[in-house]
Structure 1
């Protein structure tokens, strides 16, 4: 695992974030943003946009977290068997879920404890992503809510007129257009935001899964080396595998 590889998750998220910012700027320049937010009198589109930005920042933080844990795994792989005792020492680097997991696995002789440590590691690497997936679902549901509200506004504009004549048709069409605009705009914003968040969350999930598998594989091979006492003079673990 090279140093460049460890930052793959964050670099991919930066690429996605750059594309998102570009399309947002393009939409602003083409007056699409202004049109959508002005026509949406319910402000549901604004709420969706705020949630989208918040969850995107959350994805960025999680991608950086996964990248930092990958870097920690790379540093640990360069240690010798004699230096593995430093994993339980707080003086060794900063606190890390990868370091804590490997320390528990190497110092524990109980299989249930190792299984529990693996579950804790998986929760630490992926558990926070569930909030993002939940918010992605909330975003699309807000879009559907805007659709319903838009149709309600459109139908209520018809029921407001007991009798229609030529002079009322223009006002009726304006009110119906307003309701239809709310329905279409909120649906479009909700769908686009949900799909974009799904791509970001899927990327972070895949990178976290890959890191989890590599950490478990490294811990299994390291435990075998410790048990079989194949230290080979304290050579780095990466050279012994």
Structure 2
């Protein structure tokens, strides 16, 4: 993975969450364990979203943000999360093929390619790493977009606040309520979009971090299998052995 991607603020927070950066968890070693873990995670988020809907938080969120940047962040998060679930399923299939010793899949092609005489192991390892991690690059980039959309909403909110203050010619106590409503509107946009973008960045980063760790373990196990010495067949053993 590109190391510069991990320098984003949200990704740095994710890396400090206990267990997020650990190698493959035991539950992920089970058949489609990574996908089941993702499914449980999304179920937890879905339950939290339902509780917020019961309290009317989603309705107030839409009303308080005329820019609709919060909705864009939410839909971006949902789309990337669904992709992460599909990716977890694909990685689980590759893990099952590797554990079963099947010839198909990325690891099977890697093992067959490195077993050929004079094979370039470094090139094959690069191909395997690209297949395991390459699609994650775009997901990490979109994860950073969530944070940038939140910062964009913050800039828009404070710009509205500054414009409202700049239009004040004199202070009229009779217009204080309307002025206060206008000022809090800009401040609300700034805070809501920032919080939504940061929350989506962290929650999606947790999913992508587990995908990366699972892909790392898959590449490492495939490399370890390719380095194991192959035993000669019975027909190739010398006479008298």
Q: TM-score with structure 1 length normalisation?
A: 0.82
**CA distance 1:2–1:20, change in 2 (3 Å):** closer
Structure 2 unpaired stretches of 5+: 1-25, 236-241
**CA distance 1:168–1:125, change in 2 (3 Å):** same
Specify the alignment match of 1:91 in structure 2: none
Q: TM-score with structure 2 length normalisation?
A: 0.82
Structure 1 unpaired stretches of 5+: 78-86, 88-94, 234-241
Quick one: distance in 2 between partners of 1:114 and 1:54? 36
How far apart are 1:57 and its partner, in Å?
Answer: 0.9
Contact 1:45 1:186 in 2 (8 A): yes
Quick one: distance in 2 between partners of 1:198 and 1:18? 17
Contact 1:39 1:181 in 2 (8 A): yes
1:31 paired residue among 42, 56, 73: 56
CA RMSD of aligned residues (A): 2.2
- Tell whether 2:169 aligns with 1:162: yes
The correspondence of residues 112-151 of structure 1 with structure 2, limited to 5 A, is: 113-151=120-158
Specify the alignment match of 2:187 in structure 1: 180
The count of residues paired between Structure 1 and Structure 2 equals 211
The correspondence of residues 1-241 of structure 1 with structure 2, limited to 5 A, is: 5-76=30-101, 87=103, 96-110=105-119, 113-221=120-228, 224-225=229-230, 228-229=231-232, 231=233
Q: Structure 1, residues 177-227: CA drift from partner, whole Å, max 9, x if none?
A: 111110111011111100001100011111111111111111111xx21xx
How far apart are 1:232 and its partner, in Å?
Answer: 5.8
Contact 1:3 1:74 in 2 (8 A): no
Contact 2:154 2:194 in 1 (8 A): yes
How far apart are 1:2 and its partner, in Å?
Answer: 11
Which one has a bigger Cα radius of gyration?
1
How far apart are 1:16 and its partner, in Å?
Answer: 1.1
